[in-house]
Amino acid sequence: MPFAFCLHRVAMSQASETESEFSCEGLTSFSEPSLPGGNSRRNLLGTITHEQVLRAIHDIDATGAQFSSSDEAASRRALEQWKTLHAFIESTLASLSASAEPRLNDNQLFVTGLLIRDVFLSKLFRLREALDNRDPKPDSFLSILHSILRHVLTLSGILCTDTCGDADSFVPKGLRQIRERDLHNSISNLPRGWHSIPSILSGKTYSPATQRCALTLLFVAYVVGPQLGNDPPSESSHKVVLDHLYQCIDDSLNSHSFLLTTGNPEQSQLTLAMFVCLFSTVHIAVFRDTSSDNGGSPMRPRSFGFLLEVMITVLGHPSNEAILPLQSITPAQHLCLRWGKVVPWTWSVWQDRRAANSEAVVFLTSTWFYHRDAPLKIVDHPTTSLQMALKQHRSASAITIQRTWKSTGEPYSRFLTGVSHPSSISFSMKR
């Protein structure tokens, strides 16, 4: 595995007599920003290398980097490890913000993937809980962990929407500061245990901002991390998340859900896009062994219409009778099309063309084909494989693609043979 290979190189460097003898192609140096913590903070000297970041992640994976009031040396080492990660992610965000053409390099993307693993987030939350139970609390350490979580959410948003501050550039500075403060408060209000995060989605006592924060954390752990090549969370945890997502749907149908809160329209669409991406991912995982290509995976009856309405809200309605793809897409639509397995999942769930609003699946499919190989700004991340999607959903994909073919007028074979961006498929712009 790539991470194991990198750690092997790190171990070799530790065994060498001088650090200058270590050589690895493509190592990136990250400038060290200031760290939170007031007068107690200490900036690391010089720069932080890719090697040091990997070593910090390896040590945390191996030991949990737990805080110990009885072992001062171990506590200092743990603090330095988390400071290193904080410096990396803050520097990465700063480089994206400062660049005229922001883009994550391979090292930055690789480390970001390691930071959003379910097992890593679980360790962070366990340490956060241990620190919070200390008397007195090590506030500077807690501040670093909260800042890492905040930056992880920000960086994941950039990665998944392929945008970097475009929308914020039109937002007044005061409003941006309010949003930052609200995000900080939402993270502070999260429960101490990672295992409790799914329950926030259906909780009655949490603010909508905290629930959106929990949804984003689950989205990056269950959808983004595995798509970047990391191991998915345990099978049993998918069932827990699915149960709480179902409760979210029930609450929404009864007009009591953070999914229905008003506010920033773009943020609302992103929340809905994350919800349907997360739902489809855990639904596929839970029913992987029981679903059939002909019958689809079982779903609670009241969920069909709601989830279809969510997709219509994110994608919109086709502009004419011929269901032609969207020529340009929003950040929320990009997230739905590029992350998770929303499109092939809809093929299995809505195979019956008689279902109300099922043309939304055709609209989604045609837009997916149109943008599937489009060049990206931030990073060339993996997307759902067409061949794999067709293999896993044979008859269901045939039904939907035939409907898409009839609607757009494109030859059926075009959809099955290495479809690429609009340059190789020109959808007939029929009115």
- Quick: pLDDT tens for 232-268: 999 899 999 999 999 999 999 988 889 887 667 888 9
Structural domain includes residue 169 = yes
Does a structural domain hold residue 31?
no
Residue 20, amino acid: S
Beta bridge partners of 47: 31
Q: Please indicate, yes or no, if residue 428 is contained in any of the structural domains.
A: no
Long-range contacts of 232-235 (CB under 8 A, 24+ apart): 232/118, 232/285, 233/118, 234/118, 235/285, 235/286
- Give the Cα separation of 57 and 61 in Å (integer): 6
Residue 30 scores a pLDDT above 60: no
Q: What's the pLDDT tens digit per position in 272-285?
A: 999 999 999 999 99
pLDDT at site 350: 78
Ranges 64-68, 333-337, 427-431, most confident: 333-337
Percent of the chain with pLDDT over 90: 36
Q: How many domains does the chain have?
A: 2
Cα separation values, 139 from 11, 33, 147, 194, Å: 32, 19, 12, 20
pLDDT class of 389 with cuts at 50, 70, 90: low
Most confident of 16-30, 237-251, 302-316: 237-251
Q: How is 289-338 classified by DSSP, letter by letter?
A: TT-BTTTB----HHHHHHHHHHHHHHH---SSSS-PPPSS--HHHHHHHH
Residue 103 has pLDDT above 80, yes or no: yes
Taking 70 as the threshold, does the pLDDT of residue 91 lie above it?
Answer: yes
Q: Are residues 262 and 354 in the same domain?
A: yes
Residues with Cβ within 8 Å of 294's Cβ and at least 6 positions away in sequence, in order, are 395, 396
Q: Are residues 340 and 259 in the same domain?
A: yes
Domain final residue, candidates 198, 223, 249: 198
Alpha helices (runs of H) in 99-207, residue ranges in sequence order: 106-115, 118-132, 139-161, 173-188, 197-201
DSSP 224: I
Residue 36 domain-assigned (yes or no): no
Query: Is residue 349 domain-resident?
Result: yes
Mean pLDDT of 221-233: 93
Identify the pLDDT of residue 430. Answer: 38
Residue 55 lies in a domain: yes
Are 367 and 268 in the same domain?
A: yes
Cα within 13 Å of Cα(382), Cβ side: 16
Range of the domain at 54: 50-198
> Does some domain include residue 278?
yes
Contact 126, 230 (CB under 8 A): no
Whether residues 188 and 310 share a domain: the answer is: no
Are 318 and 371 in a shared domain?
yes
Which whole number is the average pLDDT over 164-185?
69
